[in-house]
Amino acid sequence: MVSSGALSCSLAFLLMAAAQPGGQLASGSGPAVPAAAVTTRPYFPLQAGDRRMYLYANGDVADERTAGPITLDGHRVWSFTAVGHGSDRVVYCEDAGGATRMHGIDTDNMTIRFSPDATVLGNTADLGTTWHSEGRCIVDRIWAVPYSLDVTVQGVGVSCSTKAGEFADCLEIKILGRIGSEPDPDRIEETWWLARGVGLVKATDEVYPNESRELVYARIGDREYGVRPPAVGDFNADGKVDVEDARLLLEAYLSGRYGVEFDIYPYDFTPPDIIPRPDGLIDQMDLATFADLWRAYHPPAAP
């Protein structure tokens, strides 16, 4: 059985990857949204093809891609797939009113769904705005534990410095949550900075310090932030995939010398824009994957 602690770690990653606009005000009546409120959607773009890379406190680098929309469990959802600091696929849905809610997360070992879907951000926000969600985390459609989540806006238009650059217009968000039953539920306590036009650029985790992370590179639409990493297959990092890279891979294959940079199979997505999931082997499948990359980088000339 999966522990509530494992669920808490998974939810922490889910919150990092899927901090998207949408939601509802905390239960109970409240004042009308003031004129100074901002629309949250620009602070976490929701579009297929986006890429974000994060450096974690323990030195891991996670490479995350966005895909969708697709239909899952009857919902129209987008997925964030990340490799490098665990392997997870986050899914969330947007309702007719513009609210975006976390629907679930898939890992190599389990599937988690939220009932009801968890609100992360409302469609508008002002300093002090809070959204509340509670319900059950359903694991592998078999068993469930309770969860609750409170999201509070701590800053609007604040600056945040990361390895990908300085971002001047950010929302600062405080996340407080619990997973599991009293008297000893697992806690979630994070602070995020969401940059306009980019999304999550930094997060600190008070419960699981190794989950703290900051943006090192992003490609959002046609804009890039930070230093672009070498392409998969560019083993000598010279900015191109060519015969020299093929020679290096073949040399590693024939010599039996393992290097994670050559371990490019299996992978997610479609060449050339793939995320390898290293299996600890340099074999014929890695050679075949490089051939697919070569064809993608060097398409035949039109007749």
58 and 173 inside one domain: yes
Question: Are residues 146 and 273 located together in one domain of the fold?
Answer: no
Range of the domain at 288: 243-297
Residue in 109, 70, 110 with CA at minimum distance from that of residue 91: 70
Q: How many CB atoms sit inside 10 A of residue 295's CB?
A: 12
**CA-to-CA distance for 176 and 7, rounded, in angstroms?**
15
CB-based contact 192:211 (threshold 8 Å): no
147 and 293 belong to one structural domain:
no
Local confidence band at 96 (pLDDT 50, 70, 90 cut-offs): low
**Cα distance between residue 111 and residue 105, in whole Å:** 6
- Residues 135 and 258 placed together within one structural domain of the fold: no
High-pLDDT (> 70) share of the chain, %: 85
CA distance linking residue 235 with residue 16, whole number of Å: 30
Q: pLDDT tens, 167-205?
A: 999 999 999 999 998 888 999 999 999 999 999 999 999
Taking each helix axis from N to C terminus, what angle separates 284-297 and 243-255, rounded to the nearest 10 degrees? 180
- Cα atoms found within 13 Å of the Cα of residue 239, Cβ hemisphere only: 1
pLDDT category of residue 95 using cuts at 50, 70 and 90: low
| Greater model confidence, 185 or 90 | 185
pLDDT at residue 5 in the model: 44
Instruction: Please indicate, yes or no, whether residues 213 and 247 belong to a single structural domain of this protein.
Output: no
With H, G, I as helix, E, B as strand and everything else as coil, classify residue 101.
Answer: strand
d(CA 12, CA 200): 13
CA–CA distance, 87 with 43 (Å, rounded to integer)? 25
**Is 233 a domain residue?**
no
Q: Are 12 and 114 contained in the same domain?
A: yes
Stretch 27-46: mean pLDDT:
63
Q: Give the pair of three-digit tokens for residue 228.
A: 């672009």
Q: Is the pLDDT of residue 282 over 50?
A: yes
Residue 23 has pLDDT above 50, yes or no: no
Domain boundary among the residues 198, 226, 254 is at: 226
Are residues 15 and 154 both part of a single domain?
Answer: yes
Using 50, 70 and 90 to split pLDDT, how confident is the model at 18?
very low
Better-predicted residue by pLDDT, 125 or 75: 125
pLDDT value at residue 267 = 87
Alpha-carbon span 131 to 148, nearest angstrom: 11
pTM recorded for the entire structure: 0.78
* Domain containing residue 184: CATH number: 2.40.360
Above 90 in pLDDT, residue 284? yes
pLDDT of residue 120: 86
Q: Are strands 186-195 and 87-94 parallel, antiparallel or unpaired?
A: unpaired
Please report which confidence band the pLDDT of residue 88 belongs to, taking 50, 70 and 90 as the band edges.
Answer: confident
CB 179 within 8 A of CB 185: yes
Say yes or no to pLDDT of 242 above 60. Answer: yes
Whether 62 shows a pLDDT value over 80: the answer reads yes
Backbone angles phi, psi at 88, to 5 degrees: -135, 150
Q: Do 181 and 269 lie in a common domain?
A: no
Q: Give the integer Cα–Cα distance in Å for 15 and 133.
A: 13
Q: How many CA atoms within 13 Å lie on the side-chain side of 15? A: 34
**Is 186 a member of any domain?**
yes
Q: 97-143 pLDDT, tens per residue?
A: 666 778 888 887 889 999 998 988 888 889 999 999 999 999 999 99
Q: In 3D, which of 68, 72, 47, 54 has the Cα closest to residue 13?
A: 54
Higher pLDDT, 98 or 9: 98
pLDDT number for residue 119: 85
Contact 13, 88 (CB under 8 A): yes
Q: Are residues 208 and 255 in the same domain?
A: no
Is residue 253 helix, strand or coil?
A: helix
Structure tokens at 89: 């696929």
Same domain, 44 and 166: yes
Q: List all residues 6 or more positions away from 106 whose beta carbon is below 8 Å from its beta carbon.
A: 88, 89, 91, 112
**How many distinct structural domains can be found in the chain?**
2
- Of 40-44, 89-93, 282-286, which gets the smallest average pLDDT? 89-93
| pLDDT band (50, 70, 90) for residue 274 | confident
Among 226, 253, 286, the domain-final residue is 226
Instruction: Mark whether 189 and 278 lie in a shared domain.
Output: no
Given 194, 226, 258, which residue is the final one in a domain? 226
Show Cβ contacts of residue 229 under 8 Å, excluding neighbours closer than 6 positions. 53, 217
Question: What integer best gives the mean pLDDT of the chain?
Answer: 84
Does 231 map to a domain?
Answer: no
Q: Quick count: other Cβ atoms within 10 Å of Cβ 18?
A: 25
How far apart (Å, rounded) are the C-alpha atoms in residues 24 and 259? 48
- In the prediction, which pLDDT does 3 show? 40
Mean pLDDT (whole number) for 275-284: 90
